Structure 1
């Protein structure tokens, strides 16, 4: 155990011995008149109210210097023990705050009626150290404080600005106390002085358990004592609850658990620890005392002592802590506070950290009375070990906690970033821990709907360790936190969702991974947090049923809600391996087909309502990836509309229904949008009508279509509308393709080769993870099968789906072709990777930018053991595909 020894028998001798190791005290001794503590304090307490502010600042600063020098001498010689020193420092602070308020009011000709200041934290408990800042909170009663020629609120702010200046501003004479008012209610949005009415509302509605801890130590320090007494009487009902529900107790214990109790040898054996915030430090003793006071003090007033050692004794007397533990922790507390004082005597810095440099540390050890640094280091370690062992034992009844709580400090209370929490988040991979800490601190203040209730805030505290751990495990914690913030801010009420996440830890892990790795899904969740319930229930969404009474806009909104839910569930199952990546295209395409049918029906009903009955038959046909049932997340829809009608005037009606269909599919409503639609594959492309007649379609395909258009036509598939017309259109398309083959004299092969070479130049590949346009990518495979189908010249040898074509083409020929087996394998591999890639990132992706969590999911999609083997296999397959493409498409070798 640490044994702090006097440096000499008299204050003068002790101070002289200390000066070589305490530059701050040396400077004070050179420029400060030596006076007793009592004499210096009298200068402060006797400062008249009409003293000019500049003069008052000089008096306060000179008195502070004299007090520091006098107390240091008494401290180092053992004339005052550590708690007497902290009490004396606090007396100075209290007198200084009183003087500052007195002068600030006096300069305006005002009295302190209705305005008062509370000391909080160490100042409230008479436990200040040499370089403490002082935590204060100022309040005014709007109906009794005289604001002079301004409102009470405006004057109160001006008065407190002067108070802060009198105490905090650094002049040639130094400063008095660093002054912190951030423990007032909601400091980010309230003025320096808060009305008592606003404070009452705040603490009744969104006050937190850690703020109750703050007010345990509260003490009226300056101003109107009667008004302060009224206020603290009201606050006592907030601080001391006779009955705590389960959630309040769990929240208090969760706050305790966030101060890590399992740092291990590395944390304890660090020779340069933070003796306040680090493991085995001062805060662990303070925190234990305060948590027990919060839980038990409502029923037992004897536990309400606002000092750490007084409360420890009360806990001992009540039988809550054994006498041995209370004594050991009390001795350790005083020893650590002594070391804290000697650290701060050296440079007057607000630090609690033992210097890492051995020579600097020897200076601290010497001020503690140690001749040997090794002996000091040993005793400090033993003291901290004792504290942590006792601290762990005091909460042993809580049982085993989730491993997520063992990651390090996670403290989001108070107003300053806890350095150990910064280190914890840094270790989890956060690039900006302070941003995350600040956001969580605001959540705890009730700044989002989910935490505006006490239980919502308590539930948030309970899930934070596992949530942040899960974010670290994704490899993209900043991204996960950013999306979780959007999701969390979108909750209208947090209790139900947070309770669900607390009860189902796997769901929390699932949510965090989804938010981090799939921004597309994160966007959906941020708009519809209730979709989490769909994951838990496992119930499939029920498609809306439109009828004649459903108007067009309502039908669009109803379907968009259903579509968003289905899209989320498909994407979620794909991301988490609940459906095979190779099967995902079927799910996406089926949803698109269903959407087109529903929107076509709604468009038709609206067009009939506006322009009369349908003048014929019509159908919607898929092309491209939709035609091949190969959609990925976020795919647009390649469609064409074909109609058959006897009247030439029908063109106008079908143009209108097509435009309405496009609107139904693409227009953003209050419920979002569905798809991007591309109709450029219709006859004559952008220059042609949006709806084409069957006769015009047949004529164009037989007389005008280019080779590339017939390549695209191999993917034509009927989706919605009149089934008879659908069959007719497919017959026309296949016949046109066959007819081209019959009259081909080598032009098809030449055109396909030219097109592929042009694409290489116009859309060069972007590297290994360009799965589509790069050499050996999906376009190579598509060109190979489309050329083969065009050259076959048989209607029965046309398959819209590439995988079906790869099976069907070799089966329709007499000679076996081993190339198609390679292409099948490559297609399955590329499409599986593309499904996960498009869901998570989009089309562009670089290997060094892929989060570890996403790498795992890519590996799972193709059954790879690790990412390195995945990339090796991908490169090998793309090389083989490109070699086959060069041979079959007669390509010129490319670099």
Structure 2
């Protein structure tokens, strides 16, 4: 066990022995600072309020230096016990706060009636360390405090700012105490001085268990005693709850589990530990005491001692903690606090870390009375091991039933970023751990609807370790947390959702992975958090019943809600392997087809309502990926509208219908958007009418269409409207393609080769993971098959779907069976990868930036054993396709 030994028999001799090892004490001694604690305390205690602020600042700082040097000498000589030193330091802090408040009030000719300051943390327990900052909170009762010429709240802020300046500002004489007011209610959104009414409301509604721990040590130290007493009496019922439900106790246990949940021999054996926050440190002893006080102090008032050692003894006297544990932890606490003083008096720094440098650590050991550094290190290790063992035994029975994640510190209490938590989150891959720490801290303060209830906050505590671990596992923790924040902020009430995630850990993992790896799905989920219930229940969204009486706008909203839910489920199932990547295109395409049919009905009804009955019939035809039923997440819709009308006014009516159809498909409403629509593949492209008559369509395809337009025409597929018209238009398209083949003199192959070369120039490939435009990508396969269809002259070979096309062409060319079999397998491979790629990141993807979780899903899409072999297979597929394209399309060979 660490034993702190006096350096000499007298303060003079002890200080002389310490000076070579403590530069701060040496500076004070060299400056001739007078060493007299009692006189320093009297000076501060009797400082008149009427003294000018600048003069008071000088007096306070000189008194602090005299007290510091005197207490260091007494401490090093052992003439004051370590807890006597902390008590003396606290006395100085209390009198300094009182003096500062006197001066600040007197400078405005005010009294302290209705205004008071509470000491929290170590100051409240008379346990300040040598270079401690002081945790205080300032309150005022607006019905009692007289603000003078200003409102009470405004004046209170100004007074407390002056108090902080008097104590905290560094001048030529140094500072008095670093002053921290961040333990006040919700410090990110409240002023320095908080009204008692606001404080009551905060603690009653969103106060957290860790804040109850803070207030165990709360004590009024300055200002209006009567107003402070009334406030603290109300706070007592908040801190000391007579009955705690299961969730409150589990929340306290969860906080414990998140402190040093991953402690191995290496962490304890570190020669440069943080003796406050590290494993086996002061915080663990304090937490050991406070958690049990919090759980049992409501029913057992004897446990409410606000000092660490006093409460420890009370727990022992009550039989809650064994005598051996009380003795072991009390001795360790005193030793570690003593060591803490010696670390801090070297440079007057608010640090708790033993120096890593051997020479500096030897100075600390010398101040502790150790002639041997190795012996000091060993004794410190044994002390921390003893603390750790007792701390680990806390809640041991309860912990055995809970799946705690052993990943390291996860502490979101207090106001400072816990160093161990920063280390844990960094190890999980977070780029800037301060962002999640700050965000989670604000969640715990009830700053989102999901955590405005006590139960919501306690459930959040319970899921945090697994949630953060799952974020790390995705390989994109920052992205996962960003989307989870949006999702979590969108919850109107968190209890049901958080309880569901706690009861179903796999669902939590699933949610985090979805948010991290598929921004499209994350966007949907952030708008519709209730979709999680659909995942658990397995229920399919029900398509809305859009009646003739449904208004145009209402129909758009109704279908968008359904489409969003269905899109989420398709994407989710694809991402998590619940549907094969090879089947995903069918799911996306069927949803798009049904959407076009429904919106065409809505557009028809709206056009009829405005302009009368339809002047004929029409069909909506798909082109491109939609035509081939090869949609991916985020694909746009290539469509054309073709009508048949006996009236000269048919063009106007069907143009109006088409405009409403485009609006129905593309317009963003309160429920979001559906698709982007591309009609450039209609006859004459952008320059042509949006609705084309059957005769005009036939004329254009037979007499004016370019080779590339007939290539696109191979993907034509009827989707909505008059089925008879659909068959008629399909026949016209196939006949036009066949007629081109019959009159071909080599132009088709030359045009296709030229187009492919121009595409290479205009859209050069972006590397291995460019699955579409790069050499050996999907466009090469599409061009090969479309050339075969255009050259064959056989309408039976014209297939909109590329998999169907390669099968049909292969049967027509049995002597090239091997080539087309290679194209078929390559097509399936590339399309499967593209489904996952488009869902997760869109079209652009660089191997070095692919998250680990996404790599796993890409491998699963094509049955690859690992990502390295997947990239090897992908490169081979693209080389094979590129070679076939070079031969078939008469292209230059590529490497």
TM over 0.5: yes
The yes-or-no answer on 1:856 pairing with 2:842 is no
Partner residue in 1 for 2:158: 158
Distance 1:813 1:134 in 2: 86
Question: Which residue of 2 is the match for residue 429 of structure 1?
Answer: 429
* Native 8 Å contact 2:781 2:881 kept in 1: yes
Could you tell me which residue of structure 2 aligns to residue 145 of structure 1?
A: 145
CA contact (8 A) 1:456 1:498 kept: yes
1:512 and 1:381 map into 2 onto residues whose CA distance is: 39
Note the alpha carbon deviations across 1:55-78, whole angstroms, 9 max, x for none: 111111111111111111111111
- Between the aligned partners of 2:306 and 2:669, the Cα distance in structure 1 is 58
Partner of 1:689: 689
Q: CA deviation at 1:790?
A: 0.8
Deviations for 1:245-289, whole angstroms, at most 9, x for unmatched residues?
111111111111110243101110001000000000000000111
Q: Residue 95 of structure 1: CA displacement? A: 0.5
SS at structure 2 position matched to 1:675: coil
Kindly state the Cα deviation for residue 378 of structure 1 after the two structures are TM-superposed: 0.4
Question: 1:483, 1:522 within 8 Å by CA — same for their partners in 2?
Answer: yes
For 1:661-712, what per-residue CA distance to the aligned partner results, in whole angstroms no more than 9, with x for missing partners? 0000000000000000000111111111111111111111111111111111
Distance 1:33 1:751 in 2: 95
TM superposition shift of 1:48 = 1.0
Corresponding position of 1:25: 25
Structure 2: distance between partners of 1:888 and 1:261: 63
TM alignment of 1:837-848, pairs within 5 A: 837-848=837-848
Q: Which residue of 2 aligns with 1:179?
A: 179
Aligned residue in 2 for 1:361 = 361
Q: 1:66 to 1:401 in 2, by over 3 A?
A: farther
Distance 1:775 1:404, change over 3 A: farther
Equivalence map 1:520-539=2 (5 Å) = 520-539=520-539
Q: 1:760 to 1:35 in 2, by over 3 A?
A: closer
Q: Which residue of 2 aligns with 1:114?
A: 114
Aligned residue for 1:380? Answer: 380
Does 2:835 correspond to 1:835? Answer: yes
Q: Map 1:306-385; keep pairs closer than 5 Å.
A: 306-385=306-385
Partner of 2:764: 764
> Matches of residues 743-822 of structure 1 in structure 2 within 5 Å?
743-813=743-813, 815-822=815-822
TM-superposition CA deviations, 1:210-256 (whole Å, max 9, x none): 11111000011001001100000011111111111111111111111
> Per-residue deviation at 1:816?
4.0
- Listed as ranges, the matches of 1:24-423 within 5 Å are 24-400=24-400, 405-423=405-423
Taking the aligned partners of 1:348 and 1:827, their CA distance within structure 2 comes to 70
Q: 1:261 to 1:702 in 2, by over 3 A?
A: closer
Distance 1:32 1:495 in 2: 62
Provide the secondary structure at the position in 2 that maps to 1:346.
coil
In the alignment, which residue of structure 2 is the partner of 1:667? 667
Does the Cα contact within 8 Å between 2:262 and 2:409 map onto a contact in 1?
no
Give the TM-score normalised by structure 2: 0.99
Q: CA deviation at 1:150?
A: 1.0
Gaps of 5+ in 1: none
DSSP-derived class of the 2:620 partner: strand
For the structure 1 residues 798 and 57, does the alpha-carbon distance in structure 2 shift closer, same or farther, using more than 3 Å as the test?
same
- Residue 544 of structure 1 corresponds to 544
Q: How does 1:679-718 map to 2 (within 5 A)?
A: 679-718=679-718
Measured against aligned partners, the alpha-carbon deviations of 1:620-659 in whole angstroms (never above 9, x if no partner) come to 0001000000000000000000111111211111111110
Contact 1:261 1:279 in 2 (8 A): no
**Counterpart of 2:550 in 1: which secondary structure?**
coil
Question: How far did residue 746 of structure 1 move?
Answer: 1.2
Partner SS state of residue 670, structure 2: coil
Deviations along 1:549-576, one digit per CA (max 9) or x if unpaired, are 1111101000000000010000011111
| Alignment partners' CA distance in 2, 1:596 and 1:104 | 72
Matched positions, count: 895
Determine if contact 1:404/1:469 at 8 Å carries over to the other structure: no
Q: Give CA deviations for 1:750-801 in whole Å, capped at 9, x if unaligned.
A: 1111111111111111111110010100000000000101111111111100
Does structure 1 retain, via aligned residues, the 8 Å contact 2:882–2:894? Answer: no
Name the SS for the 1:620 alignment partner.
Answer: strand
Secondary structure of the 1:135 match is strand
Asked if 2 retains the 8 angstrom alpha-carbon contact of 1:275 and 1:354, the reply is: yes
CA apart distance, 1:34 = 2.7
Q: Which deviates more from structure 2 when the two are superposed, residues 92-101 or residues 747-756?
A: 747-756
CA distance in 1, matches of 2:98, 2:424: 40
Counterpart residue number, 2:583: 583
Aligned residue in 2 for 1:885: 885
Alignment check: 8 A CA contact 1:597 1:719 kept? yes
Q: Give secondary structure in 2 for the equivalent of 1:412.
A: coil
Q: State whether residues 883 and 894 of structure 2, in contact with CA within 8 Å, keep that contact through their aligned partners in structure 1.
A: no
How far residue 110 of structure 1 moved from its aligned partner, in angstroms, is 1.2
TM-fit CA distance, 1:813: 3.6
SS state of the match for residue 515, structure 1?
helix
2:90·2:127 contact (CA, 8 Å) conserved in 1?
Answer: yes
Task: Tell me the equivalent position of 1:638.
Answer: 638
SS of 2:815's partner is coil
- Cα distance in 2 for residues equivalent to 1:165 and 1:667: 57
Contact 1:32 1:62 in 2 (8 A): no
Alpha-carbon distance, 1:28 to partner:
1.2
Quote the Cα distance in structure 2 between the aligned partners of 1:754 and 1:409.
Answer: 62
Q: What is the CA-CA distance between 1:406 and the residue it aligns to?
A: 1.0
- 1:403 positional shift: 5.7
Query: What's the CA shift string for 1:316-352, capped at 9, x where partnerless?
Result: 1111101110110000000000000000010000000
- Please say if residues 261 and 407 of structure 2, whose CA atoms lie closer than 8 Å, have aligned partners that are also in contact: no
Contact 1:132 1:350 in 2 (8 A): yes
Contact persistence 2:254–2:462 (CA under 8 A): yes
* Structure 1 contact 32–66 (Cα < 8 Å) conserved: no
Following superposition of structure 1 onto structure 2, how do residues 538-687 of structure 1 map, counting pairs within 5 Å?
Answer: 538-687=538-687
Provide the rounded CA distance (Å) in 2 between the counterparts of 1:136 and 1:488.
32
Find the aligned partners of 1:194 and 1:247 in 2 and give their Cα distance: 29
For the residue of structure 2 that corresponds to 1:405, the secondary structure is coil
Report the secondary structure of 1:347's partner residue. coil
Contact kept, 8 Å, 1:134 with 1:180, in 2: the verdict is: yes
> What's the CA shift string for 1:778-835, capped at 9, x where partnerless?
0000000001011111111111000011111121245343110110111011001100
Q: How far apart in 2 are the matches of 1:33 and 1:563?
A: 77
Q: For the aligned residues, what is the CA RMSD?
A: 1.0
Give yes or no for contact 1:261–1:388 (8 Å, CA) kept in 2: no
SS of 1:622's equivalent in the other structure is: strand
Does the CA-based 8 Å contact 2:573-2:579 persist in structure 1? yes
Greater Cα shift, 141-150 or 590-599: 141-150
Shift of 1:108: 1.3
Q: Is the 8 A contact 2:76 2:367 kept in 1?
A: yes
In the TM superposition, what whole-angstrom CA distance separates every residue of 1:817-859 from its partner, at most 9, and x where no partner exists? 3110110111011001100100000111111111111111101
Give, in angstroms, the shift of residue 894 of structure 1: 5.5
Cα displacement (A) at 1:167:
0.5
The question of 1:455 aligning with 2:455 is answered yes
| TM-fit CA distance, 1:433 | 0.4
1:743 Cα shift?
1.1
Structure 1 CA distance for aligned equivalents of residues 533 and 838 of structure 2: 25
- Tell me the TM-score normalized by structure 1: 0.99
Matched residue of 1:243: which SS? coil
Q: Which stretch of the first structure deviates more once superposed, 271-280 or 45-54?
A: 45-54
Local SS of the residue matching 1:20: helix
